[in-house]
């Protein structure tokens, strides 16, 4: 089952990489954005192609994982800031709740992304 999952992931990423230039062009995507995504996909593909045992124990956190960790840490800071602003009565509870909802959504997206890769 694990071997099939890794095969499916590799194949999906390889085909996405093949489609990336044309899709980015059709969507008029900034070349820097397309380049960054291509780099992330290639890095993920390298990890999937590695021996599963050594990949789990020996690999250094990928840039994507580092980026996610940084985003989550900064999200925590943003949460603390908006709570402080509400406590100082500089923003309303409604504003706080709306911002918290948006941050909750972002946190879920960031923390659950790895489960689907």
Q: What is the pLDDT of residues 50-85, one digit of tens each?
A: 866 555 544 556 777 888 888 899 899 999 999 999
For residue range 7-20, what is the model confidence (pLDDT) as tens digits? Answer: 888 899 999 999 99
Domain boundaries, the chain: 1-59, 61-117
Whole-angstrom distance, CA of residue 48 vs CA of residue 7: 8
The residue that leads in pLDDT, 74 or 5, is 74
pLDDT of residue 57: 43
pLDDT of residue 65: 80
For residue range 17-36, what is the model confidence (pLDDT) as tens digits? Answer: 999 999 999 999 999 999 99
pLDDT of residue 3: 79
pTM score: 0.49
- How much is the mean pLDDT over the chain? 84
């Amino acid at each position: 089952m694990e071997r099939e999952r890794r095969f499916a992931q590799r194949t999906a990423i390889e085909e996405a990489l093949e489609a990336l230039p044309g899709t980015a062009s059709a969507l008029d995507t900034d070349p820097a954005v397309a380049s960054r995504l291509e780099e992330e996909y290639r890095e993920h593909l390298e990890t999937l192609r590695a021996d599963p045992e050594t990949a789990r124990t020996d690999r250094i956190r990928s840039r994507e994982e580092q980026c996610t960790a940084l985003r989550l840490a900064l999200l925590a800071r943003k949460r603390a800031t908006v709570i402080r602003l509400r406590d100082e009565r500089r923003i309303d509870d409604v504003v706080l709740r709306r911002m918290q909802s948006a941050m909750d959504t972002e946190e879920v997206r960031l923390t659950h992304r790895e489960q689907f890769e």
